[in-house]
Structure 1
Amino acid sequence: MKKFIVEDEFWNLFPNAKIGVVICHGIDNKIKDTDRYKKMISEAEKDALNHIKDSDFSNNTAIKVWRDVFKKFKTKKGARSSIEALLKRVSNGNHINSINPLVDIYNSVSLKYAFPCGGENIDTFVGDLKLTQAVGNENFITLGTDTNSPPYESEIIYKDEEGAVCRCWNWRESVRTMLTEDTTNAFLCIELIDKNRFEEFEEALQYLGETVRENLGGSINIGILDTAHSEIKII
């Protein structure tokens, strides 16, 4: 059995955070209809503009809350939340590329609701997956490089027994655990830091689960982790 565990080191910094999880088993992530996912992303890009109303990009709520969060732990210089990266591209008139169905789906949900979303291949996890503070010696190689770049000590990371899975909370993921067309069991997550948006967060989480089920089949289990419920079975 493997679990996803959010450790006390995380809750001590962010007691009001909530981590929404969609556990997917037996899905078919092979690309069959590229136009469907391109359209999904295109529509979500239009929705994303609703979250960028202030001409000063950094003053938009979805951006500001995460910039404030990133000031509470040591991060790599220039690291920004995944939702800022997506919204920045859209605000500049650039399109989000289609990658594979699962990634396209969670990117679309992230854009539509302006929450950080991510996903990993469960079958690549070594032991439990944890959201915690880094020791500082965890192995980490991100997409597009072959260089090991361990996180800083006390940096917020997702990790397993092999190393870091995602650095700076939701900034960069490890190539080791990334989703591919061959992925059949996936861990997806949505992260909430702004307690005023809990209803939108719940809606986004349900929408993510339903969209995966409708498009990729398999079985879906949805859960929300908080200080009272800090772990969930993933396999």
Structure 2
Amino acid sequence: MRFQHSTDVRAAFPGLVAGVVVATGVTPRVDAQPQVADFSARARARLAGGAEAGLAEIQAWRRAYAALGLKPTQYRCAAEALLRRLRIDGELPRLHPLVDLCNAVSAAYAIPVAALDLDRVSGNLTVRHAIGDEEYVTFAGDVERPQPGEITFVDAAGRAHARRWTNRQSGWSAVRPQTSNVLIVAEALHDTAAADVPRLVDELSAELTALWSAPVTRTVLDGEAPGCEVPTAAGGLTRQR
């Protein structure tokens, strides 16, 4: 399968940098809490300097949401929502070791990180503007239709795997106890994204390898290489122009 950002999305957000990680052999039977605690501590250290809304990474997403006609304080990117919860509640939610790790990494870097069950994605996956006929399944099992023009992750079956780009993932492809193969996508728009996203990808990949001893492949996408071929078996990710 191919993962990519559409030409229109790239044109609207030329500074977009995306990290892509694929891991196989994931199970819920690992203890990721020491790693989660470390990344959460890093996030708290950043929050000690001020609320999450003041971080450059979050400000960039707020500008993007405003450009899309969304109220940034009504619809927050996933990283901002996690940081806000960490600041108010003191902890991040516990769901699945992989999800917990990705959430903690997202909070530490203030960069949205999505983890999808790769076996629940049909064919190619494109981050593009919605037409309005895509099908999005909530975590409660309800079906929604993204608004026309809304940015979402759409597969070959017309299923939307996100709402409002990095605001909310789909329950259809959410990581669950049976999940084995995952596609992880980190997206950033801020000025130093070209340096920060590769660091996030490298650090997350190292933790995945250490925790699960799982085959992990990774790459970074930008305007010069907006897509990559995702292996269906163990193998490398190939950037494509």
**TM, length-normalised to structure 1:** 0.90
Q: Is the 8 A contact 1:74 1:155 kept in 2?
A: no
1:45 pairs, out of 40, 48, 58, with 40
Matched, 1:30 2:28: yes
Unaligned runs of 5+ in 2: 233-241
SS of the counterpart of 2:143? coil
Aligned residues: 229
Runs of 4+ in 1 over 3 A off after TM superposition: 53-57, 74-77
Aligned to 2:103: 107
Measured against aligned partners, the alpha-carbon deviations of 1:70-99 in whole angstroms (never above 9, x if no partner) come to 112144882110001011011114311221
| Unaligned runs of at least 5 residues, structure 1 | none
Q: Which has the higher contact order (CA 8 A, sep 6+)?
A: 1
- Tell me what 2:153 maps to: 158
Offset from partner CA, 1:128-150 (integer Å, 9 cap, x none):
1111111112111221x232221
Q: Which residue of 2 aligns with 1:146?
A: 141
The one-letter amino acid of 2:180's match is: T
SS in 2 for 1:110: helix
Within-5 A mapping of 1:196-215 = 196-215=192-211
TM-score (norm 2): 0.88
> What secondary structure sits across from 1:79 in the alignment?
coil
1:54/1:60 contact within 8 Å kept: no
Residue in structure 2 matching 1:70, options 49, 61, 65: 65
Indicate the residue corresponding to 1:7 in structure 2.
6
| Contact 2:20/2:184, CA 8 A, preserved across alignment | yes
Q: Aligned residues: percent identity? A: 22
Distance 1:172 1:115 in 2: 14
Q: Deviations over 1:109-139 (max 9, x none)?
A: 1122221111101111111111111111211
